[in-house]
Chain A
Amino acid sequence: MNKTLGWKLGLIVATLVLFLFGIFGIPRDLSGSGLLASIRSRIHLGLDLKGGTHLILQVQVNDAVNGDSDRALERLKEDLRTHKINYTEITKPDPVNRPDQIVLKGVPPEATSDLRSTVSERLPEYDLNSGADNSWTFTMKPQALAELKNRAVTLAIETIRNRIDQLGVSEPVIQEHGLGQYQILVQLPGVDDPARVKEIMQSTAMLEIKQVLGGPYSSEQDALQQHNGVLPPDSVLLRGRSVGSQAGDDSGEQFYLVTRSSAVAGADLRSGGATVGRDTNTNSPDVGFVLTNEGGRKFAAFTGSHVGEKLAVVLDNRVREVATINEQIHDQGRISGGGMSEQAAKDLALVLNSGALPAGIKYLEERTVGPSLGSDSIRAGVRAAIIGMLAVLIFMLVYYRGAGINADLALILNLVILLGFMGYFGATLTLPGIAGVILTVGMGVDSNVLIFERIREELRNGKTPPSAVEQGFAHAWITIVDTHVTTIVSAAILFLFGTGPVKGFAVTLTFGLLANLFTAVFVSRMIFDWILSRKQRGEALSI
């Protein structure tokens, strides 16, 4: 064996070892099950193959925008008071569709410059436009709005991750979903109970404390009648439950009229401050919470100025508790909300501690694949793939005889490299991913067939074996580059613009084709060169 062949062989063996490590890592034991276990720990199977729960949800980013503009509105009120700027009304005219707008009415013309300077100083993220009849419209600047929405999504992902982590799921996927705006993908392998997962996530645990303006009313109509058909500005009607009624029992349902803005919101909650305890009167489970310093100050100011009035503890837009403010309260409170079970109290403490979601969420897609179905489909798929591969390998040996060994070795090495790549990159193998593998195998076979057919052609034209091999590779190489680069280009585009399954296909295909460029050309060529180096001049080539 000459020197060039030596380093080529070295390179191939090194590649083989490198990618075998990618597949297996360092296995604990060399038995079949031990090897299988180490493959499983490195190459992850997608939910379609393994079973589990798959959810796509959308963050209702307008909630976060409303929260921000509510705070801005409160700040504005205070500033207008301190700067002695008069106005008749300040409202959010359309909180559902335009949560980023505040309208201020009846500002005297002589206060215009005061207003402008106050706004530019205190509310820099808002644009100020004048309208008819001394009214002013505050609109959040587009950039600030976009940032706020994106932050809501990022925060929601973090919060959901915290909560899922406490459920003890291994290898969860929680990430932004590229398909639509503000969507999050949640994949939980091995979890077969989406209802409970959603319970944990869905209780957005948006904790707020609001001032009670009226109620309880027995129904929405009742509440409207009491106010002559129109609710007071900046108030909302929320559902609540009379004390003692069971969860799921709607008979004890009541309505309360509360302020739209909250005295204290989820962000004011001290993280880790929620604890499960027991109600001192009824001995049923309840949850205590502690506020941050800032939240505590706000809460103290609020309770101090509203002694004798009522406050509502609102969780996820439901009134959980109504209490009369007897004295100024600083930074602690409790949520009992009659008839909460131990489990419900624990879940509530869990979601409160994992941080409040900045906005509500809506579910767009839900899939569960049972573990038995998953393993069935793997078994069938793997068996089919092995049968197909064997048929191809045997055919190549029969059709090309000696050269068939080259092709078979190259194909096997191709698969090793492909799987090794996936192991290194932590890529996930899905059903569409298997499609990518099939196309890779197809193109791998094709490269070999192209080369061998060309070599045969050159031999027929009377070339000597070394020269035929040389020419065959040289000609086929150009074709192989063209086919591979075109396919890799389209796979890369699919990877960039696709999500989920389409992406899984693109990943295996790209890795597989890169590997194939190496195996079909370099490895196969090296084997030919080695065979030729051992042959006598003029001896025929087995192809």
Chain B
Amino acid sequence: MEFFRNPNIDFLGKKWYFLAFSLLFSVAGVFSMLFWHGVPLGVDFRGGTLVYVKFSHPPDDNAIHEALRKVGLTQAKIQRLGAVTNNEVLIDLDVRETSEKALDQGKVQIINALETNAPAGKLDLNNTSSLTLANYLLEKDPLHAGTDAGQRYAAVAKAMVDYRDKTRGGVLSSFDELKTVADPAVVAALQDGFFLSDFGVYQVEIVGPQVGEQLKGQAMRAVAYSLAGMLIYLGFRFEWIYGVAAVITVFHDTLITVGVFSLANKEISLTVIAAILTLIGYSNNDTIVIFDRIRENLKLMRREKLSEIVNRSINQTLSRTILTAGLTFLTVLALYLFGGEVLHGFSFALVIGILIGTYSSIAIAAPILVAYQDWRSNRGKPVAVMAGKGKPTAGKPTTSKGKVATGQ
């Protein structure tokens, strides 16, 4: 089976279309970053409090807003998660509500606000940890346990919390449900000190402003350093212009991806950063494959124009480019479609990234080489400096390598 047999497309001839396309997306993205949505940062970078709540019944957004307003959380944003039948809600407190002095204050306020039916002096079993539960049972001692009471009640508490979180999805609606995993005496003892609210908090993210700032700085530094490393390696293996072209290309990809996030007003979290790193790696891989072919062809076709050689190289590797891109896209698409809520932002970035990364190797990286060459020859500089320092390709005659390299 074969999709492409000796394609011969004039890619470089279309460079103005490519440029227009890239400019359109970059400018739209930059415009959105500057004047519209900004760069929507996830809680990891901006700081703040996210509380994920699961209700036992379909939640009423207005009621939640009202309850939160009563405790002074007027800025809270409420967002539904996943399918409607999940009854899951994300409560997002603005960064101003989070200071490092009382980091979890917002979380405590939210839980208190939602516990509208709390009887005095009782704890909410749906928001109690196994540690607290074990301590409570140890004090009540409903099983009249002997010397190993500590361990026994710890195990009972863990079994009940596991049942609540794993089997019942995080919310119990009646004490009787617990009788499947615990002794009736234990359940009876629980009823003295606990009540059941209609929700359970299943995930909390609280990031202080200081960490957010540091994380942002560090992510940017790490990416900048790794781009520099890439530049140096390519400069060493090829010519410095190849490195520059590769770095401009991945910068272009990152800019457009972040731009799409801004346009779609999707938040950039730490996992999205991981996805962007993946796309940088992928795009760079793609670019090098084409560069490598250009370098090889430069030695074989010394009489041709550079734009000819570049076009030929792109066409020769086109089959491979499309196949690899298609297969990687398949994997990422599976992740986007079946990977669940947590992976959504992440796989979204990858889906865009693979498309852009593949496009940019052909449409950005290769034309930069040609443009640089044209610019040099216009200034009367020697033309054929592009062959680079790479080892001559195996199996081919290696004569007159020096001539190619200097061209003077």
Q: Which residues of A contact B (CB under 8 A)?
A: 48, 56, 58, 179-180, 191-196, 342-343, 362-373, 375-377, 379-381, 383-385, 387-389, 391-392, 395-396, 398-401, 431-432, 435-436, 438-439, 441-443, 445-446, 449-450, 453, 456-457, 470-471, 474-475, 477-479, 482-483, 485-487, 489-494, 496-502, 504-505, 509
Q: B355 near A: Cβ within 8 Å?
A: no
B226 touches A490 (CB 8 A): yes
Which one, A385, A443, A478, A494, contacts B391 given CB within 8 A? A478
With CB as the reference atom, state the residue of chain A lying closest to B151.
A168
Question: Is residue B337 within 8 Å, beta carbon to beta carbon, of the partner chain?
Answer: yes
Chain A: which residue is nearest B228 at the CB level? A493
Q: Mark the stretch among B116-124, B288-296, B373-381 that contacts chain A.
A: B288-296
Whether B282 and A442, one on each chain, are in contact in the complex, defined by CB atoms closer than 8 angstroms, is yes
- Cα A489 to Cα B284 with chains together (Å): 12
Query: With an 8 A cutoff between CB atoms, is B114 at the interface?
Result: no
Q: Which residues of A contact B226 (CB under 8 A)?
A: 489-491, 493-494, 497
Would A501 and B214 count as touching, CB distance under 8 A? no
Q: Mark the stretch among B32-40, B67-75, B215-223, B255-263 that contacts chain A.
A: B215-223
Using A363-B100, A384-B343, A435-B278 as known contacts, say yes or no to A368 and B204 having CB atoms under 8 A apart. yes
Could you say which residues of chain A place their CB within 8 Å of the CB of B100? 362-364
B285:A446 contact, CB within 8 angstroms? yes
Interface residues, chain B, with chain A CB atoms under 8 Å away: 1-2, 52, 100, 103-104, 129-132, 135, 139, 161-162, 165-166, 169-170, 201-208, 210-211, 214-215, 218-219, 221-223, 225-230, 233-234, 237, 270-271, 273-275, 277-278, 280-282, 284-285, 288-289, 291-293, 296, 316-317, 319-320, 323-324, 327-328, 330-335, 337-343, 346, 350, 390-391, 393-395
Q: Is the CB of B342 within 8 A of A377?
A: yes
Are A431 and B271 in contact (CB-based, < 8 A)?
yes
> A494 touching B346 by the CB < 8 A rule?
no
Inter-chain pairs besides A453-B320, A487-B284, 9 sampled, C-beta below 8 Å: A364-B208, A367-B206, A371-B165, A456-B2, A483-B288, A489-B229, A493-B229, A501-B274, A502-B219
7 A-B pairs closest in CB distance: A380-B340, A193-B129, A432-B274, A388-B331, A370-B202, A490-B226, A388-B334
B131–A193 contact, CB under 8 A? yes
**A387–B330 CA distance with the chains assembled, in angstroms:** 9
Q: What residue of chain A has the Cβ atom nearest to residue B323's Cβ?
A: A449
Contacts of A381 in B (CB 8 A): 335, 339-340, 342-343
CA gap between A195 and B129 in the complex, in Å:
10
* Complex Cα–Cα for A456 and B1 (A): 11
State the CA gap A475–B161 with chains docked (Å): 59
CB atoms of B222 and A493 under 8 A apart: yes
Q: Do A483 and B289 touch across chains, with their CB atoms under 8 A apart?
A: yes
Q: Is B277 a contact of A435 with CB atoms below 8 Å? A: yes
The answer to whether B204 and A366 touch across the interface, beta carbons within 8 angstroms, is: yes
Which residues of the other chain, B, contact A375 by a CB distance below 8 angstroms? 166
B340 touches A435 (CB 8 A): no
- Which residues of the other chain, B, contact A398 by a CB distance below 8 angstroms? 1
| Bound CA–CA A483/B129 (angstroms) | 49
Chain B residues, CB < 8 A from A496 = 225
Task: Give the CA-CA distance A153 to B391 in the complex, in Å.
Answer: 50
Are B334 and A363 in contact, CB atoms less than 8 angstroms apart?
no
Chain B CB within 10 Å — which of A195, A453, A470, A500 has the most? A453
Query: A474: which B residues are within 8 A, CB to CB?
Result: 393-395
B285 / chain A contacts, CB cutoff of 8 Å: 442-443, 446, 483, 486-487
A391-B334, A431-B346, A439-B278 known; A365+B206 contact, CB < 8 A: yes
Cross-chain contact B225 with A493 (CB below 8 angstroms): yes
Chain B residues with CB below 8 A from A370, complex form: 52, 165, 170, 201-203
Flag if A497 contacts B221 (CB, 8 Å). Answer: yes
Q: Cβ of A439 and Cβ of B230 under 8 Å apart?
A: no
Bound CA span A52–B330, Å? 32
Return chain A residues, CB-CB under 8 Å to B169. 372
User: CA–CA, A14 to B61, complex, Å?
Assistant: 60
**Residues on B with beta carbons closer than 8 Å to the beta carbon of A485:** 233, 237
Complex: A179 Cα to B214 Cα, angstroms: 7
Query: Known: A195-B104, A380-B339, A389-B331. Contact between A502 and B132, CB under 8 A?
Result: no
A selection of 22 A-B contacts at a CB cut-off of 8 Å is: A195-B104, A195-B129, A373-B52, A380-B340, A380-B341, A388-B330, A396-B327, A400-B1, A431-B271, A438-B335, A446-B320, A449-B324, A453-B319, A475-B394, A478-B292, A478-B391, A486-B233, A489-B230, A490-B281, A490-B284, A491-B281, A494-B222
Decide: A475 and B327 in contact? CB cutoff 8 A.
no
Across the interface, do A380 and B233 meet the contact criterion of CB distance under 8 Å? no
Q: Point out which of B208, B278, B281, B394 has the most chain A C-beta atoms below 10 A from its C-beta.
A: B281
- Among B165, B274, B339, B391, contact of A384 (Cβ-Cβ < 8 Å): B339
Residues of B within 8 A of A179 (CB): 211, 214-215, 218
**Residues from chain A with Cβ under 8 Å of B334 in the complex:** 384-385, 387-388, 391
A503 to B, closest residue via Cβ: B222
CB distance from A487 to the nearest CB of B (A): 5
